[in-house]
Amino acid sequence: MKHMQHFTRQCLRAVCISAMAWAVSGCSLLPTESFNFQAELPENFTISATTYYDAASGESCPGHKVVKSEQPKGTQLIELKLPLAERVKGCSRVLKSVVLNIEGRWGQRELDMDMDSAGLSIRDELSETTQPFPATGPLVFQGQCQWLFRTMGPHRYIVKILQCRALDANGVVQKRLPGGAIQRDQLAGRTVKLVLTEAKEEKPYFGRSWLETPKGWKPCIETKETFRCQNPPTFTDFKMPDGRDCTVYPNCTE
């Protein structure tokens, strides 16, 4: 009888150990929690996501890991699945932030482009800056990208700078970059969407050096003290990217 009891205890112990081992090993086999990121972009824009992972609470992982996700060229609506955590060489890492690299093209040449960024910050605690998810559907962040023109070089060729900023609920442009903070425990299985639009009109990068006229924007010579147009203004010419000599932007001639 005692022999049978001892045998039974040994069997139960073996079963428990096996179950525990399966549970531990099975952790790496379970699907990792993730969320969907979507981006709606203007024409001639692309985006890529750079995800930053750092050590989970209570663990000491050296440094952080960066993973890049590229968008297929020519698509204006993209979707990426971004893991919230990962385990590498026995070290648990959790998603801390997502940097969204925005690239816009303003011309046909290879260098006729510029970049700006947006971002998502993943927070463990609720704060005044974290954005709550709606009851259904995606959490949407709105942004607008503005092209700013300026002249560059001794021949004063026109180039353009990309500036992307957040929009509030009323569509008013903010000073901060598009995106925001999200609470971690709300993210799994949900969708975060960035909707970017392009401003209809371009603006001068150095607004004090250009004057708007009925024919368009005209560049003027600045004063050395204030870097503003002289009074009365003295205008100068510039070159379009295709080499044309112009006096007014974007129409070139008055």
Structural domain containing residue 45: 34-203
Helices in the chain by DSSP H: which ranges?
2-26
Confidence of residue 147 (pLDDT cuts 50, 70, 90): very high
Residue 28 forms part of a structural domain:
no
Residue 56 forms part of a structural domain:
yes
Phi, psi of 197 (to 5 degrees): -115, 165
Residue 196 forms part of a structural domain:
yes
Residue 80 forms part of a structural domain:
yes
Task: Give the Cα-Cα-Cα angle 195, 200, 204 (nearest 5 degrees).
Answer: 115
**Residues 171-183: pLDDT tens digits?**
999 999 999 999 9
Q: Which pLDDT belongs to residue 89?
A: 78
Measured distance CA(233)–CA(221) in Å, rounded: 7
Same domain, 224 and 104: no
Same domain, 234 and 176: no
210 beta partners: 219
Count Cα neighbours of 207 within 13 Å in the Cβ-side half-sphere: 3
Measured distance between the N- and C-terminal CA atoms of the chain, rounded to whole angstroms? 109
Contact, 65 vs 80, CB < 8 A?
no
Q: Which pLDDT belongs to residue 22?
A: 31
**Residues 28-84: pLDDT tens digits?**
333 469 999 999 999 999 998 999 988 887 677 766 667 677 666 666 788 899 999
Same domain, 128 and 46: yes
Same domain, 121 and 152: yes
- The tokens describing 231, both together, are 């009074």
Same domain, 54 and 105: yes
Q: Which pLDDT belongs to residue 32?
A: 65
Same domain, 218 and 182: no
Confidence of residue 185 (pLDDT cuts 50, 70, 90): very high
Query: How far apart, in Å, are the Cα atoms of 250 and each of 124, 201, 215?
Result: 48, 10, 9
Residue 226 pLDDT greater than 90, yes or no: no
How many domains does one find in the chain?
Answer: 2
Q: Which pLDDT belongs to residue 65?
A: 65
Contact, 227 vs 208, CB < 8 A?
yes
Same domain, 210 and 188: no
Same domain, 99 and 217: no
pLDDT mean across residues, the chain: 84
Mean pLDDT of 222-245: 87
Q: Could you count the other beta carbons within 10 Å of the beta carbon of residue 240? A: 14
Residue 15 forms part of a structural domain:
no
Q: Which residue has the higher pLDDT, 68 or 249?
A: 249
Same domain, 83 and 103: yes
- The tokens describing 14, both together, are 């073996």
Q: pTM higher than 0.85, yes or no?
A: no
Q: Which are the contacts of 96, defined by CB distance < 8 A and separation ≥ 6?
A: 52, 53, 54, 64, 121, 122
